[in-house]
Amino acid sequence: MYRLKKILLEFRKNYNADPRALAIMRIGIALIVICDLAIRMCDLEAHYTDAGIWPTDLIKNFGWNHGYWSAHALSGGYEFQLILFVLHFICALGVLFGFRTRLSTMLTWLLTISLHNRNIFILQSGDDLLRMVLFWGLFLPWNQVYSLDAKAGRVRNISNVWVVPGYFALIASVYFFSVILKTDPEWHSQGLAVYYALSLEQLRLPLGDFIYNYPGLLKILTHLVYYTEFLVPIFILLPSRSGRSRLLAFAMIFMLHVGFALTLYVGLFYIIGIVSAIGLIPGFVFDKLWLKLRTRTAIPKTKILNQTWLINSFGFLSAFAVCICLIINLSTVGWFPYRLRDEINTVTNALRLNQYWGMFSPGVLKEDGWFVYHGMDSIGRQWDLRRNEDYVDYSKPQHIVSMYKSDRWRKLAENMQSNNYTFLRPLYCKYILRKWNKEHPKKKLFTLNLYFMQKTNLENYKTTVPEKKLHCVCDEH
């Protein structure tokens, strides 16, 4: 028993997180939730009410897994959704200021699950990571400093030996499974993955336009991205008392996501990736930089409440979660034969522990294009809804990415391109037509033809001739 305790103590010393890093991560995650809510609220009617593209009576018909739940699906009314958004915002403020932190974190996590399940077709990998970090926030001691709880002496010392390593394993798994799922030759022998990614004009930003013109640089960047994702989990999980290897991992994550942010339109994905990794920063960084702010005395030791039963419970739950998440991630790899039983899957779905880190995997999407909104009034006169002109222009816009109000709309458009999501097209078409007629009562249209001009990106800066695909013909009724 003594030897086991010694091993666990040594393990904890090698996999420990600084409370200042965890607190800053908590604050950053709360700000992301608040920012995300503000962005989503701009399209509250479109994405979360019965007057939008995804009414509540259809939610369980497509993409709904056993165990999913959503309080947002209880009503399709605008006022109901607004109340939940406001409640979500208040709970996120509790996380931000560290007020009743564990309760605030739990409520924020649950409301985030509910919100994501309400409309799964506008989600991206960053949303999965945000949910998972909030889940680990239930166990992490991220309220020990820079929180109202610490100031009021309400901090409970319930950090178990498995909690922080579990958080490290989460961040490592994102990059480990991302890299092993990249099996296409364009990531390896060809070195063309970044070229194809920047060929997607629905994603490419101005700096991406500039870099896109240098094929040699694109090959270097492809290998740089691949081997960065390969090395990050190694440096995270490498035993280190000082945490220097984890600091290197954070620096690599930071540079990787800044590169994404500058070249590709990925919404909040990049900032979620950076903030979720702040907990990797070791304590000596804060000791040497400007954040040396009496943090060692910020929590009076006499006020820390130590409850053994709670420590053991958190340890068991976090260890169980690590095992479940590992199996879920391994099940995305073709050679892993085991799958979770349906009963366990229902529980993991309810907690939304299901995750997939196959960004640009196994290869980068090659199909690209833009939508054309060809409207007609009751006597057959045509109208271009995107340009608000009486001539419908099918030619490629100068910047396709500028057609999307937010990354949520871009992700929805990306999903609608797939033949697996054809059911979204008439719903989107009808919503666009209703919205147009409501906002333009003097230019009411009778029908809308939704076209997608699809092209396929090829090597050597070549593309196929855009193919005019009719996705949907709809009227307002």
Q: How confident is the model at residue 6 (pLDDT cuts 50, 70, 90)?
A: low
Per-residue confidence (pLDDT) for residue 296, from 0 to 100: 47
* Length of the chain measured in residues: 477
Residues 348-405 pLDDT 10s = 999 999 999 988 999 999 999 999 999 999 888 999 999 999 999 999 999 999 999 9
As a whole-number percent, the residues of the chain with pLDDT over 90 amount to: 79
**311 against 151, higher pLDDT:** 151
Per-residue confidence (pLDDT) for residue 271, from 0 to 100: 97
pLDDT at residue 315 above 70? no
* Angle at 347 (CA atoms; ends 319, 169), nearest 5 degrees: 30
Would you state the torsion angle of the CA atoms of residues 194, 197, 203, 206, taken in this order, to the nearest 10 degrees? 30
User: What stretch of H or E contains 476?
Assistant: none
Query: If you average pLDDT over every residue of the chain, what do you get?
Result: 91
Per-residue confidence (pLDDT) for residue 7, from 0 to 100: 64
Per-residue confidence (pLDDT) for residue 259, from 0 to 100: 96
Q: What is the pTM of this model?
A: 0.93
The least confident of 20-24, 25-29, 34-38, 152-156 is 152-156
Distances (CA, A) of 128 to 57, 120, 135, 174, 353: 24, 11, 11, 10, 8
pLDDT at residue 160 above 70? no
Contact 123, 271 (CB under 8 A): no
390: Cβ–Cβ under 8 A, 6 or more apart, which residues?
A: 381, 382, 383, 384
Residues 424-476 pLDDT 10s = 999 999 999 999 999 999 899 999 999 999 999 999 999 999 999 999 999 87
